[in-house]
Amino acid sequence: MSQTEYQTTRVEIAGENALILYFGEKTDPAVSAKVQQAVDALETVLADVLIDMVPSYASLLVIFNPLACDHLEVRRRIRTALSDQAAGEASEGRLVSLPAYYSTESGPDLEDLASRANLSVEEVIKIHSEMEYRVYAIGFAPGFAYLGEVDERIAAPRLSTPRQKVPRGAVAIADRQTAVYPAVSPGGWNLIGLCPTRMFNPDATPSMPVQVGDRIRFEPIERDEFLSLGGEL
Amino acid sequence: MSGFKVLQPGLLTLIQDAGRIGQHRIGLTTGGPLDSNAFAWANRLLNNDGNATALEISIGGLVMEAQCDTYIVLTGAAMPLKINGTEQEGWCAHKVQAGDRIDVGFSSAGARAYLAVSGGFTVAKSFTSTATVTREGIGGLNGEKLQQGDILPAESAADQQVYRLPEAFRPDYTAAVSLRVITGYQQDAFSDVQKRLFFSSEYKVTDRADRMGYRLEGPQITPSIDGILSEGICHGAIQVPADGQPIVLLNDRQTIGGYPKIGSMIAMDTARLTQLLPGSAVSFEEISIDAAHNLRCLEQARFARTEPEAL
């Protein structure tokens, strides 16, 4: 990242021990790559004062220990770290394949979504599984990864009444975002299938198969394979 | 396994250590004590490590039976503490023996009390911490609040030096509170008029006030934007959703969210806020990040220098 590029990064106060860095204003893979690059750089230069970081679409929240330093010192280190960074070093992230059993049985909103989009169910599945998605953010619930962006043709607004209970593994769409529900929870996204891969397993290391910056592809599988991979209907 | 048997769990009693840090990137929140000051005192009065696992008791109603010989202390909200039916002083360590009945009644001032035991409860850590976050089902014995019949593991403690905090040093939870807020985040999305309204009005704590966030009720604040691209939320952040009623986000907050935020309350004051019951009035005061930093360092120094009485 060059000096001029750093100037496009805004650093704002978030709280008594937190600064937030803004790298852009919208969902954009290039902006997300900058966020990821900053995460890697700051992990090193803030190691002795860092409490936690929260990367998201176009921002990075940096939480520091106020008894070890102050916001001016943190700002100074951030400025140095970001201006020292060479351009074009953003990692592509790993490509992770997630199996998905798309069907009207596993995706109760698939038919509705298809008819509203004037597409067949098969076309919706094809469009959703042909795209590569970027992990923009992780939050809402442990292991919930916000993936973007789905093709405009299959973008769909949230349900007017959220479901009380979305099953674990539900593959879902809201606007141009898609995600896999890591656990049973309420939710208003459109459900189009089920993924047998656990998105959050507290007993596994790592506890999540993906991290911010990774790329995801959904691989359509049949009912039998879904069940043999441990999926539940 | 020795420890304490839960005879009545109370309204909401949670196993907490100082909190789960460094896990935001997989979506895990902090958890930990809402009133970090009272929690810190509970451990210090027993000479425990500052991160030792204790209980956070909201409102009251906890009854336990000791199964080992050790010491306990209760700090924070004014909940009557009885050992075998005899009333005992809060903010003061007490010896208990196997078979003793410990009764924590309902609060007359404040909302959260902390019960610590010598050496801390010996609960397995989950993602570096024992802090219970029920929404995530993580921490504590099984990710849940205490249940009747639970056994809280603890080791017997040999005779040791324990302490009492003199009354002059204990917080007064009935005092009126002005809560200090650092403007930040989307503060530019709030006009000067809206900011002045926020900082000059009285708000009330609603009954939708929990460990995730305190919803307040008062004059409506209107930001010039509806929402933002989801971004990280720090402890104490004050978000203003479409209804214009501020929500102070606390220990069990979601790690990211998309509502505009006017700023963040300092931790010393979220500790005071979370001692308030629904209906309590609060007001806000603007503070600079530098002044907040000074207060934080002074608070730390004061805590370190305040000498409890040895018993």
Model pLDDT for residues A193-233, shown as the tens digit of each residue? 999 999 999 999 999 999 999 999 999 999 999 999 999 99
pLDDT of residue B285: 97
pLDDT of residue A3: 47
User: Which H helix or E strand runs over A80?
Assistant: helix A71-84
In this predicted structure, the answer to whether residue B258 has a pLDDT above a threshold of 70 is yes
In this predicted structure, the answer to whether residue B1 has a pLDDT above a threshold of 90 is no
Of A13, A63, A211, the CB nearest to B289: A13
Q: What is the overall mean pLDDT for chain B?
A: 96
Instruction: Copy the structure tokens of residue A129.
Output: 């599984």
Contact B308, B163 (CB under 8 A): yes
Q: Which of A9, A16, A51, A140 to mutate to test the interface with B (most CBs of B within 10 A)?
A: A16
pLDDT of residue A89: 57
CB contacts of A25 in chain B (<8 Å) are 229
In this predicted structure, the answer to whether residue A153 has a pLDDT above a threshold of 60 is yes
- The predicted model gives A138-165 an average pLDDT of 94
Read off φ and ψ for residue B169, nearest 5 degrees.
Answer: -95, -5
pLDDT digits (tens, 9 = 90+) for B216-232: 999 999 999 988 999 99
Question: Helix A71-84 crosses helix A29-45 at what angle (to 10 degrees)?
Answer: 120
| Residue of chain B whose alpha carbon sits nearest to that of A136 | B230
- The predicted model gives A34-62 an average pLDDT of 96
Interface of A with B (CB under 8 A): 12-18, 20, 25-27, 51-61, 63, 66-67, 70-71, 137-144, 146, 183, 200, 202, 206-208, 211-212
* Alpha-carbon distances of A175 from A73, A171, B132, rounded to whole Å: 40, 14, 33
Of A16, A27, A202, the CB nearest to B267: A16
pLDDT of residue A1: 44
A94 CA to chain B: closest CA distance, Å?
16
pLDDT digits (tens, 9 = 90+) for B187-202: 999 999 999 999 999 9
- The predicted model gives A168-186 an average pLDDT of 95
Q: What percent of chain B lies above the pLDDT cut of 90? A: 97
B194: left (phi over 0), alpha (psi -120 to 50) or beta: alpha
d(CA B65, CA B97): 9
CB contacts of A202 in chain B (<8 Å) are 126-127, 138
CB contacts of A40 in chain B (<8 Å) are none
Of B126, B183, B234, the CB nearest to A61: B234
Choose among B86, B16, B87: nearest CA to B58. B16
pLDDT digits (tens, 9 = 90+) for B113-160: 999 999 999 999 999 999 999 999 999 999 999 999 999 999 999 999
Provide the whole-model pTM: 0.94
| Residue of chain A whose alpha carbon sits nearest to that of B267 | A16
pLDDT digits (tens, 9 = 90+) for B20-53: 999 999 999 999 999 999 999 999 999 999 999 9
d(CA B225, CA B66): 55
Q: How many C-beta atoms lie closer than 10 Å to residue B59's C-beta? A: 18
- The predicted model gives A2-12 an average pLDDT of 69
Q: Could you give the angle at the alpha carbon of B281 between the alpha carbons of B276 and B285, nearest 5°?
A: 100
Q: Which of B81-90, B168-177, B285-294 has the lowest mean pLDDT?
A: B168-177
Choose among B3, B67, B57: nearest CA to B33. B57
- The predicted model gives A6-18 an average pLDDT of 88
pLDDT of residue A86: 62
Question: Looking at per-residue confidence, does B266 or A6 come out higher?
Answer: B266
| Residue of chain A whose alpha carbon sits nearest to that of B126 | A202
**CB pair distance less than 8 Å for B138 and A202:** yes
**CB pair distance less than 8 Å for A14 and B229:** no
In this predicted structure, the answer to whether residue A73 has a pLDDT above a threshold of 70 is yes
Name residues whose C-beta falls within 8 Å of residue B298's C-beta, 6 or more positions apart in sequence. none
Question: Looking at per-residue confidence, does A225 or A6 come out higher?
Answer: A225
**CB pair distance less than 8 Å for B229 and A59:** yes
d(CA B188, CA B166): 45
- The predicted model gives A91-110 an average pLDDT of 94
